[in-house]
Amino acid sequence: MKQRTKEKALKWLETAKKMDTFSINTAPHTKEQIEELLGIKPSKKIEKPINKDIEEKSYGDVEQTFDSGDTEES
């Protein structure tokens, strides 16, 4: 592979999605194939585990004062 093709392929890999193709001599190559040709380990996106527990971040009525209005003493 020519040096200029390698440079363009590296630039293309920065924004390429899984289904995109890169043509070398009119032959289409997938992202994984280009990474393999360049000797780059395939990139894997690390997804955060989904926390299914609901966390409530309210602290109830801490530091809240409630005005009961006018109070009358009898």
Domain ranges within the chain, ordered by starting residue: 3-38
C-alpha span between 9 and 5 (Å, rounded): 6
Each residue's pLDDT tens digit, 6-46: 999 999 998 988 889 999 889 999 998 888 888 887 656 65
- Band (pLDDT 50/70/90 cuts) for residue 1 is confident
Is residue 66's pLDDT more than 70?
no
Residue with tokens 């032959």: 27
C-alpha span between 35 and 6 (Å, rounded): 10
